[in-house]
Amino acid sequence: MALSKKGSRRMTVDGIEYRWRIRRKPSYMQGLCWTPITYAVEAASGSQPGTTLIVTSGQAHPSNWVGAEAVPICPAHVAASIREARDRGWEPTKAGSPFQLDRSAGFITQP
């Protein structure tokens, strides 16, 4: 499944162009800070969509409902996630099911 272009950001990592997107509104679980924020990444070039990378960060969604402190996801965090996923076998130009990368170690849920 391809990411929508609206609301996505482009970046280049190691010579490959990617598009990444964070869900604008938190899911119910993210709104209550029970789960961390996730974002999706895909290769921006090519006529056919490849495998989407789904990254689970270790941070709360900035629009959470309980007022928990949240650090924004910056492009450097996304670039590091892309490199880690590529090292673990993610091939962004090949078709397939989404590749999951969990970087949520240390995330503490809110009561």
- pLDDT digits 0-9 by tens, 20-48: 999 889 999 999 999 999 999 999 876 67
Q: Return the residue matching tokens 């962004």.
A: 92
pTM of this structure = 0.88
Contacts of 9-17 spanning 24+ positions with Cβ under 8 A: 9/75, 10/44, 11/75, 11/78, 11/79, 13/79, 13/82, 13/83, 14/83, 16/43, 16/45, 16/92, 17/43, 17/44, 17/45
Which pLDDT value is given to residue 30? 93
CB distance 44 to 82 below 8 Å: no
Which pLDDT value is given to residue 7? 76
Report pLDDT digits (tens) over 51-67.
999 999 989 999 999 99
What's the rounded Cα separation, in Å, for the pair 86 and 64?
Answer: 30
